[in-house]
Amino acid sequence: MLNTSIPVLGFAAFSGAGKTTLLTKIIPILVNNNLRPGLIKHSHHNFDIDKPGKDSYKLRNAGASPVLLVSKYRRAIITDFIEPQEPRLSDQLKMIDQTQLDLILVEGFKAENFPKIEVFRPELKKPMLFPDDPSIFAIASNVKLKTPQHIQFLDLNTPEVIASFIMTEFMKKTGNN
């Protein structure tokens, strides 16, 4: 199913629930504990990381695709899709060099089947995802929830505890502790 040799863990929620905010707090904790996380973020918006006037933009506009922009600090691959379509997580996982990673975190792709933590805020007045998604094994919320026995409750306001849960429970279950 997924094109990966390392664990993949998703964070699923409706927009505004705080997925990115939570990830920006969890990632440094994972890194400080010697884990090397990668990340895939699904966007529903059109975006362009290239800027008009830059050489890479000119070359892409001339028809080159993909364009690989590289320096001694980082690289970016810009690929224009011939036919716009919703991306599949398995296809995106093929694009990441997993040899230097311990874990791939995924923001979004909530309709796909892979292990996920649901981020839930009741004040958004959106339904919970877990009843329709058997791949959700934990819920992080800013209010205490009574969860089914097979779903772990995590306090959204304690990123240290969530990171610890990922390192101990999730990584252990995947055989990568």
pLDDT in tens, 81-93: 888 888 899 988 9
pLDDT tens by residue, 27-75: 999 999 999 999 999 875 555 677 788 888 888 888 888 888 888 988 8
Domain hosting 2: range is: 1-42+89-177
Task: Please tell me the distance from the alpha carbon of residue 63 to that of residue 34, in angstroms, as a whole number.
Answer: 41
Read off the tokens for 140. 């992080």
| Pair (174, 111) in one structural domain | yes
168: Cβ contacts below 8 Å, ≥ 6 apart: 177
Instruction: Please indicate, yes or no, whether residues 13 and 98 belong to a single structural domain of this protein.
Output: yes
Q: Does residue 177 share a domain with residue 161?
A: yes
How much is the pLDDT for 46? 57
* Secondary structure E strands in the chain: 8-12, 37-41, 67-70, 75-78, 103-107, 116-120, 136-141, 152-155
Residues 29 and 71 in one domain: no
Distance, CA of 50 to CA of 58 (rounded, Å): 9
Helices and strands, number each (H, E), in the chain = 5, 8
Task: Please tell me whether residues 157 and 104 are part of one structural domain.
Answer: yes
- The conformation of residue 161, written as its DSSP 8-state character, comes to H
pTM beyond cutoff 0.95: no
Q: Rounded mean pLDDT of 107-115?
A: 92
How many domains does the chain contain in total? Answer: 2
Same domain, residue pair 33 and 80: no
